[in-house]
Chain A
Amino acid sequence: MTRLLPVLTILLAILVIWYGAAVPMNANWQVTLNNRADLVDVPLTTFAQQTWSQDKPVLPAPHQVISEIWNATVALDISSKRSLAYHGWITLSATLLGFAFGTALGVLLAVAIIHNDASDRSLMPWIIASQTIPILAVAPMVVVGLGAVGLTGLVPKSLISMYLSFFPVVVGMVKGLRSPEAIQLDLMRTYDANGWQTFWKLRWPAAMPFLFASMKVGIAISLIGAVVAELSNASGGGLGVRLLTGSYNGQTVQIWAALFIAAGLAAILVALVGSAERWVNARMGARA
């Protein structure tokens, strides 16, 4: 309860601010609507309720977003093109595939970098440069370019996810694989251990905390990568497509619902990586 109370307090504050903000933000349109319907002298409480139940509000009220989420997931057949569960799954599968690619690529690059001075100097600038390019500019080129050679659907999107998620993994793992102290490396040398043994018995386990910290960042930006990639190819479906069609049609409630599903997915994914981390930590004897 002591842990729940602060969370609930913040949640309550957000709801209050949200409902409060919805009234002035939707007021103009509501006044127009009321004038058209010849409604005059609407009491403030009624007016507030009106602003919270518009069809296409500037800022939808929380209950509108929640009911849209409910209607578009639980209440709707999963195979429906309007189901957010269907679109969420499309985005999720691209996210997971891209995250797996990105983590693997990141680890491989980190291994190359720590074992080879030349690759350290030649690769690192490119890796950093890759992240200075706006992903919004790269994503359409990759998606459209690969579409032109017949590659569509999951793979182009997961490539964008990979492009974003490999970076924190490289940076974290380079640091992690270099984290063993001199004394621990000396110990391996006194045993005449080969590079393979030093890697698997010392560098790899020592890098685990760094790997998980990187993966938490990586999986969240993988989702962003997948959503951004979906903006470039509206035919494939996904949460990004729902955001896009929502904004074309002024369906703010739909946009917010898709946003919330995306945020919820990201939270669940980060939590999953976190529990994997705890499981590995426990097996590696970390203090509880």
Chain B
Amino acid sequence: MTTVVSAQNLGLTFPTGDGDIVALSDVNLTINKGDFVSFIGPSGCGKTTFLRAIADLEKPTSGTLSVNGMTPEQARQARAYGYVFQAAALYPWRTIEKNIALPLEIMGHSPAEQSERIARTMELVNLSGFEKKYPWQLSGGMQQRASIARALAFDADLLLMDEPFGALDEIVRDHLNSELLKLWERTQKTICFVTHSIPEAVYLSTRIVVMSPRPGRVTDIIESTLPRDRPLDIRETPEFLAIAARVREGLRAGHSYDGGAV
């Protein structure tokens, strides 16, 4: 199996006015090709920081981190990943198709190839027919789908998603979760997914990384035993609930370290 992301003794500290904040401490993790890895934990546990370190948006202060066998910076320069932010971050002056074209323009794809890729990715996220709309004309869920299409457009094998559905209501979120699974199945991408929803993490992932704050660290890594093909009602099965219970356990263990009690 090919290793996509590998972190050894990774640490990241933010210097601030009143002392350093240890965002990540001693993180060891390997993510293989085709994995769907979720990072779950309370605010301040460093899950987003870890994702941003993979994306070379933050610089680790200790340990090693490699992406596709390269440094994160080289990987970013090689356009090795697509990043989906918490907010859709669509440019309001561009239509949906022009937003998806943005990375393609920057990476120098020909106009013909741009339109071919736009059509393909918009179909992939079920947005066909909305090419000429502006972002404000779309619902929040559709905007976030457009931002996923934008991250998929240049065909990076790694997809980094930072709480992409965090701002959406549960009905839309369920729908997008199952669509995301289908998309993952079709594209065979490696996905790193940050969330603070236990059902979302368990439903989506092949592996769940449980993290805890102060300092941000990994407290548990759970291999999912669920089959790859997951209808939404798999969430009622005992197997699903057992994994969810273990995630909850891991989160609680992280908290007892923090408070000292329990």
List A residues at the B interface (Cβ < 8 Å): 181, 183-184, 186-193, 197, 201-202, 205, 208, 284-287
- With beta carbons under 8 angstroms apart, the residue of B77, B82, B85 that contacts A192 is B77
Interface string of B22-64 (1 = CB under 8 A from A): 0000000000000000000000000000000001110000000
Looking at the assembled complex, report how far the CB atom of A113 sits from the nearest CB atom of chain B, in whole angstroms: 23
Known: A186-B83, A284-B92, A286-B93. 19 other contacts (CB 8 A): A181-B89, A183-B85, A183-B86, A184-B89, A187-B85, A187-B89, A189-B76, A190-B81, A191-B106, A192-B76, A192-B79, A192-B106, A193-B106, A201-B91, A201-B105, A202-B91, A285-B92, A285-B93, A287-B136
Q: Once the chains are docked, how many angstroms separate the CA of A115 from the CA of B245?
A: 51
Please, which residues of chain B bring their CB within 8 A of the CB of A186?
57, 83, 85
Chain A to chain B contacts (Cβ below 8 Å), 11 pairs: A184-B89, A187-B83, A190-B81, A191-B79, A191-B107, A192-B76, A192-B77, A192-B79, A192-B106, A201-B102, A286-B92
- Interface core residue of A192, A197, A205, A284 (most chain B CB under 10 Å): A192
Q: Answer whether residue B103 sits at the interface, using C-beta atoms and an 8 A cutoff.
A: yes
Q: Once the chains are docked, how many angstroms separate the CA of A193 from the CA of B103?
A: 8
Number of interface residues of B (CB under 8 A): 25
Cβ-defined contact, B93 with A284, below 8 A: yes
Please, which residues of chain A bring their CB within 8 A of the CB of B184?
none
For A198, give the chain B residue with the smallest CB separation. Answer: B106
Cβ-defined contact, B91 with A205, below 8 A: yes
- With beta carbons under 8 angstroms apart, the residue of B55, B87, B91, B134 that contacts A190 is B55
Looking at the assembled complex, report how far the CB atom of A186 sits from the nearest CB atom of chain B, in whole angstroms: 6
Q: Answer whether residue B95 sits at the interface, using C-beta atoms and an 8 A cutoff.
A: yes
For B105, give the chain A residue with the smallest CB separation. Answer: A201
Please, which residues of chain B bring their CB within 8 A of the CB of A286?
92-93
Please, which residues of chain A bring their CB within 8 A of the CB of B79?
191-192
Please, which residues of chain B bring their CB within 8 A of the CB of A197?
105-106
For B92, give the chain A residue with the smallest CB separation. Answer: A285
Known A-B contacts A191-B106, A197-B106; the reply to A183 vs B89 at CB < 8 A is: yes
Please, which residues of chain A bring their CB within 8 A of the CB of B136?
285, 287
Please, which residues of chain A bring their CB within 8 A of the CB of B85?
183, 186-187
Interface string of B71-83 (1 = CB under 8 A from A): 0000011010111
For B135, give the chain A residue with the smallest CB separation. Answer: A285
Q: Answer whether residue B182 sits at the interface, using C-beta atoms and an 8 A cutoff.
A: no
Q: Once the chains are docked, how many angstroms separate the CA of A284 from the CA of B95?
A: 9
Q: Answer whether residue B248 sits at the interface, using C-beta atoms and an 8 A cutoff.
A: no
Cβ-defined contact, B103 with A191, below 8 A: yes
Please, which residues of chain A bring their CB within 8 A of the CB of B55?
190
Known A-B contacts A190-B55, A190-B76, A287-B136; the reply to A184 vs B91 at CB < 8 A is: yes
Q: Answer whether residue B235 sits at the interface, using C-beta atoms and an 8 A cutoff.
A: no
For B82, give the chain A residue with the smallest CB separation. Answer: A190
Q: Answer whether residue B94 sits at the interface, using C-beta atoms and an 8 A cutoff.
A: yes
Please, which residues of chain A bring their CB within 8 A of the CB of B105?
197, 201
- With beta carbons under 8 angstroms apart, the residue of A188, A202, A285 that contacts B134 is A285
Looking at the assembled complex, report how far the CB atom of A23 sits from the nearest CB atom of chain B, in whole angstroms: 56
Q: Once the chains are docked, how many angstroms separate the CA of A284 from the CA of B91?
A: 10
Looking at the assembled complex, report how far the CB atom of B165 sits from the nearest CB atom of chain A, in whole angstroms: 16
Q: Which of B122-157 contact A (CB under 8 A)?
A: 134, 136
- With beta carbons under 8 angstroms apart, the residue of A187, A205, A285 that contacts B95 is A285
Looking at the assembled complex, report how far the CB atom of B70 sits from the nearest CB atom of chain A, in whole angstroms: 13
Please, which residues of chain A bring their CB within 8 A of the CB of B95?
285
Please, which residues of chain B bring their CB within 8 A of the CB of A191?
79, 102-103, 106-107
Q: Once the chains are docked, how many angstroms separate the CA of A201 from the CA of B94?
A: 10
Q: Once the chains are docked, how many angstroms separate the CA of A201 from the CA of B103?
A: 10
Q: Once the chains are docked, how many angstroms separate the CA of A31 from the CA of B87?
A: 76
**Closest 4 A/B residue pairs (Cβ):** A285-B134, A284-B93, A190-B83, A183-B89
- Interface core residue of B81, B89, B134 (most chain A CB under 10 Å): B89
Q: Once the chains are docked, how many angstroms separate the CA of A192 from the CA of B92?
A: 21
Q: Which of B88-104 contact A (CB under 8 A)?
A: 89, 91-95, 102-103
Cβ-defined contact, B93 with A205, below 8 A: yes
Looking at the assembled complex, report how far the CB atom of B88 sits from the nearest CB atom of chain A, in whole angstroms: 9
Please, which residues of chain B bring their CB within 8 A of the CB of A205?
91, 93
